[in-house]
Amino acid sequence: MRFIKSTTETVDKNINVYDNLDVPEDIKDDVINTKKTFNIKKYTHVRLSELATFCPREYALGYKYGKAKESYTEYPLMQQFEIGSALHFWYQNFSKVFKDVLYGNWKCWACGKLRGRDEPLFTTRDEIRKNPCEHCGASGEASFYHEYYFRIDEPYRVTGKIDGFILKDNKLHVIDFKSYFTKEDFPKLQDKAQLVGYMLFYDYLPDSLKLPLPIDLETGYLYYLSKKFSYRDSILCYAVTKEQKIADAILKNVSLFSDSVKTGILPPPFDICSRSNWLKGKAKNCFLRELCKQEYVGV
């Protein structure tokens, strides 16, 4: 192990001078922050991006006992998330691919307000950038995509953030971006579930949260963006329909949690968790495993 202090000289309180140090990993960790990140998540609403993997009992327990899931993300993994987010951002704001088909709200980075005088404008990048900000007069070029966010308590406790909408056949379609390195069996079930979730729960939003244009709630699109060069597969697009089987499974699980919030009655544990004495399946990595077990066998 090398100790960076032994090869550096402190010339000012916070400034190190590196003498012939050719170990980039050491310098990296000394100058920038690649430490793991602490995350905390409350169990108040089901995130639609987690529909395929969430456990209704874990949410119900977390809500009932006011718990929050605490975890750490190592930087290499965080870096993958950040690269994915950067790709999203690029396609929403700079790539020519979506410049006149991607619809949404836009935020002015100069004043921080949503673009639009009385109501937020819901339009394309090409259109929004033609005019200066209605609030502060900053250049239209300073407008950036503002993802559509919603959170509801009734009749289902869900929250979601939608990557974008494209206009096709006079209707808006929900889209979601995924980045990938190696082509797999796309579209993945969890990605389909996320899109089906958006289409399913949009119907339940109050009018005040709904978008100003009609939405097609039967078909959405998943865009897989390649992180490596490929003539054939640089962008893959899959249409996702609101399959009844997936929609039923989602509603069943989300209802189990939403009902539990009202009644206080906990959903049963997964079979694999209870049969393995909370040692296998999802229990292995479940933040509330001990509480789940206590509640099941302890009374």
Report the SS3 class of residue 271. Answer: helix
Of the candidate residues 101, 111, 235, 261, the single one contacting Zn ion (CB under 5 A):
111
Please count the residues of this chain forming the interface with ligand SF4, following the rule CB under 6 A: 14
Around Cβ 205, how many Cβ atoms within 10 Å? Answer: 15
For 32, 73, 78, 85, the CA distances from 26, given in Å and listed in that order, are 10, 20, 19, 27
Q: Is 288 in the site for ligand SF4 (CB under 6 A)?
A: yes
Strand 171-180 with 219-226, pairing:
parallel
Distance CA 151, CA 157 (A): 8
Q: Is 286 in the site for ligand SF4 (CB under 6 A)?
A: yes
Q: How far apart are the first and last CA of the chain?
A: 51
Closer residue to ligand SF4, CB minimum distance, 160 or 269: 269
Binding mask 133-172 for Zn ion (x = CB under 5 A): x-xx-x----------------------------------
Q: Is 257 in the site for ligand SF4 (CB under 6 A)?
A: no
Distance CA 200, CA 174 (A): 11
* Cα 62–chain centre separation: 20
Of the candidate residues 48, 49, 57, 160, the single one contacting ligand SF4 (CB under 6 A):
57
Q: Is 289 in the site for ligand SF4 (CB under 6 A)?
A: yes
Please, what is the Cα angle at 275 between 269 and 276, to 5 degrees? Answer: 105
Of the candidate residues 7, 45, 55, 200, the single one contacting ligand SF4 (CB under 6 A):
55
Contact 219, 196 (CB under 8 A): no
Q: Is 108 in the site for Zn ion (CB under 5 A)?
A: yes
Task: Report the interface residues with Zn ion, using CB under 5 A.
Answer: 108, 110-111, 133, 135-136, 138
Task: Report the interface residues with ligand SF4, using CB under 6 A.
Answer: 55, 57-58, 61, 269-270, 273, 278, 282-283, 286, 288-289, 292
